[in-house]
Structure 1
């Protein structure tokens, strides 16, 4: 198990809600990608340089073992939640679903050169919360509507026209709405790492697996002062 001191991500940025972290594909060892909503307008993405000082320097603006200052995008909307995954398509595009205050679940992707772009078609409307997963280029989202009903939406990797995406309701399996909420086991991991539970903002604790140091559990949360925190275990 790996330990480190909890880092503050984007301390000078005005962010809100639960951060979303994914194992990235860039750099020699694969960086980390972290997404957060701005308090009033747009989204922020931060990236962690997971390379070692002995690796070839590919991101001179972010030293090995450090977080970037952050990039703002998607202005014009206030977002309630947003999630990011590393796609195997593109190659290596990033995929984002972002829930705006109108209930629209916007679909975005990042590609080299062009950066983040919003797709013409949203994944869903009248959404209250959601969760996103990725498998071999396909995206799977559990979506809970404003009426409380849940459904599973799937966007297949082999659908024509990528980077455009088509979302279809999947008839297979039960939708587990618990996966759209905070897992108390993640809070327990953060506390076990030495953090004070009372200082973890409710509903913001998340975990993701990365390839760092042979395999690391990446813990993210927002503290009661409003700062994004990150810790690897």
Structure 2
């Protein structure tokens, strides 16, 4: 069943900004993966156990319907924004695009064993904000640079796990603010930190919108609502 009240994600972790969430391929029902920027150093990844029975858990310390306590990575840099995507390659690897404080958009991937690894070449530089999508191993980016110009890039799966980025004619949208969707789900608008509300689609429960935002204390909140 869907939770009737918002869940807290990583309440003991000091994170900042909007977060990125995707439905992953792990678990019987597709766990949720969430990445957030630490307030001072690196990134955090959290995962939500979407399975119904504890017997199917890959990590028994996270009960069904609960978020993990979080795993830090990318230490040594402060980040402004990040996006996580489920990859079709690997199989079932994860992709992360992370914007550091020098406005370099780094390219990371996760695989079992080594965990998160940063690629030598960034996806783009002089970036102020970005949107990312993944399909059949190809990553696509829409980037707004620090001067306000928009460009589109894509990276095919050739040579994976290495990635090369090339210009293209179109790309995904930049992230949309989802405050109206969070308010429509019954959350007090005064309890939402401006600019942090996001929505992501999942296949859970026959089709679900996964809402995330920060409350006025800065805690990450998550609520799933059925898609109509």
TM-score interval (norm. to shorter): over 0.9
Give the structure 2 partner of residue 167 of structure 1.
165
Give the structure 1 partner of residue 29 of structure 2.
29
Q: 1:213: Cα distance to partner?
A: 1.4
Check conservation: 2:54, 2:63, Cα contact below 8 A.
Answer: no
The size of the alignment, in residue pairs, is 225
Residue 207, structure 1, aligned to residue 205, structure 2? no
For 2:208, which of 197, 213, 216 is the aligned residue?
Answer: 216
| TM-score when normalising by structure 2 | 0.94
Q: For 2:17 and 2:54, how far apart are their aligned partners in 1? A: 36
Check conservation: 2:42, 2:79, Cα contact below 8 A.
Answer: yes
Check conservation: 2:54, 2:64, Cα contact below 8 A.
Answer: no
Check conservation: 1:199, 1:223, Cα contact below 8 A.
Answer: yes
Range with greater deviation from structure 2 (208-217 or 113-122): 208-217
- Partner of 1:180, secondary structure, is coil
Give 1:99-178 correspondences, 5 Å limit. Answer: 99-157=99-157, 159=158, 161-170=159-168, 172-173=169-170
Q: For 2:24 and 2:49, how far apart are their aligned partners in 1? A: 10
Q: 1:199: Cα distance to partner?
A: 1.6
Check conservation: 1:182, 1:203, Cα contact below 8 A.
Answer: no
Q: For 2:38 and 2:176, how far apart are their aligned partners in 1? A: 20
Q: 1:2: Cα distance to partner?
A: 5.4
Q: Point out which structure has higher relative CO (alpha carbons under 8 A, 6+ apart).
A: 1
Q: For 2:64 and 2:3, how far apart are their aligned partners in 1? A: 17
Tell me, which stretches of 5 or more residues in structure 2 are unaligned? none
